Amino acid sequence: MNRSRSTLDLLPAIGGRYSPRAFSDRDVTDAELALVLEAARWAPSSMNEQPWRFLVTRRGAEGHAALLDGLNPSNRLWADKAPVLMLALVHRILHKLGAENHHARHDLGLAVGQLGVQATALGLGMHQLGGFSPDKVRAAFAIPDVYDLVTVLVLGWPGDADGLPEHLRERERTRSLRKPLSELVHYGRFTP
């Protein structure tokens, strides 16, 4: 699972990360869950606001069915096998200034990035989802308007692609590609 897709010498937890859809039956322990959340906690944020929040649900326990129900059907199809679903939210107000925090989603992304790296280092898989209904989930959990519902994180131990619906099996065995650095990085001047 941890084969890097880069030709450069990346940290294994960065190069080996991918977004699984196949999950095994193995549960995520409280200690493993605490560790990945702790990795998110130590992310940097604008003015150290730490705007991220995580609503954690475990399969068969409080909140899980409601969060699962908020996913787009194409995501629900496989995400229901994973032992943990988490809603990732941000508080929109920068408390030190009493103003809109324009970096809140940026900061959440950093925290989730760290969570994903820590998860990969443990051998866990984490799949982020934008394909859910924020309105439905907000209503189900009575989440106030000052929070933005950004993604749902699917966490668990990667499983066998054969357990997936047929149209997803080949996709699970294929790793995504990336644009070359030359397309993404500009030195000295910007050329759109």
Ligand X SMILES: Cc1cc2nc3c(=O)[nH]c(=O)nc-3n(C[C@H](O)[C@H](O)[C@H](O)COP(=O)(O)O)c2cc1C
Q: Which is nearer to ligand X, 94 or 129 (by Cβ)?
A: 129
- Shortest distance in whole angstroms from residue 71 CB to ligand X: 8
Tell me how far, at minimum, the Cβ of 129 lies from ligand X, in Å. Answer: 4
- In the complex with ligand X, the residue whose CB is nearer, 143 or 168, is 168
Compare residues 180 and 188 and give the one whose CB is closer to ligand X.
Answer: 180
Give Cβ neighbours of residue 164 (< 8 Å, ≥ 6 apart). 21, 22, 78, 172
Burial class (CB in 10 A: 0-12, 13-18, 19+), 115: buried
> Which CB atom, from 6 or from 29, has the smaller least distance to ligand X?
6
Task: Kindly list the residues in this chain that would bind ligand X in the complex (CB under 6 A).
Answer: 18-19, 75, 128-131, 151, 176
Minimum distance from residue 96 beta carbon to ligand X (Å): 27
Using CB positions, name the residue nearest to ligand X.
131
Q: How far is the CB of 147 from ligand X (least distance, A)?
A: 17
b/e burial code for range 53-84 (CB count within 10 A of at least 16 → b): bbbbbbbeeebbebbbebbeeebeebbebbbb
Tokens matching residue 78: 């496989």
**Rounded to whole angstroms, how far apart are CA atoms 23 and 43?**
27
For ligand X, the closer CB: 58 or 78: 78
Smallest distance, ligand X to C-beta of residue 151, A: 5
Distance separating alpha carbons of residues 63 and 85, to the nearest angstrom: 9
